Amino acid sequence: MAEGCDGGRPSMVVEEEGIRKGWMGIRVGARGEEQRRFVVPVEYLRHPLFVGLLKEAEEEYGFHHQGPIFIPCRVDYFYRICSIIERERRRAVVAGGNPHHFRLGFTGIS
């Protein structure tokens, strides 16, 4: 089973059904922590916080890493990132903007 970041909350996605169009599978887990599989919207790839996680992965594993995308961070931290991204996406929708266009700039995590 894979977990999805849907509104910052995990939701179960059955692997046998495959990954829906517009979503991608990744693995998350800090060193010494059990890896967990997540399915997230592809649009997350454009968000500055997610880009930061990908840069950490590049530093850890290199740009030409073969296999699935692996994010080397704690699972609880990843949930917080998903929650922030979803909150910003919802604000864009409420403000009448495109949910696929994220606000540029840094979002602090406390």
pLDDT at 74: 95
DSSP string, 20-54: PTTEEEEEE--TTS--EEEEEEGGGGGSHHHHHHH
Mean pLDDT value across the chain: 77
Which residues, in sequence order, are CB contacts of 60 under 8 Å at separation 6+?
Answer: 72
Long-range contacts of 97-102 (CB under 8 A, 24+ apart): 99/43, 100/43, 100/46, 102/46, 102/47, 102/48
* Predicted confidence (pLDDT) per residue in 50-100, tens digit: 999 999 988 888 777 677 789 999 999 999 999 999 999 888 878 776 655
Q: Is the pLDDT of residue 30 over 50?
A: yes
- Check residue 6 and give its pLDDT: 59
CA distance 79 to 8: 6
Q: What is the pTM of this model?
A: 0.70
Which secondary-structure segment (H or E) carries 57?
Answer: helix 48-61
Q: Distance of CA 3 to CAs 19, 45, 52, 75, 102, Å?
A: 11, 17, 21, 11, 23
Map out the domains of the chain as residue ranges.
2-93
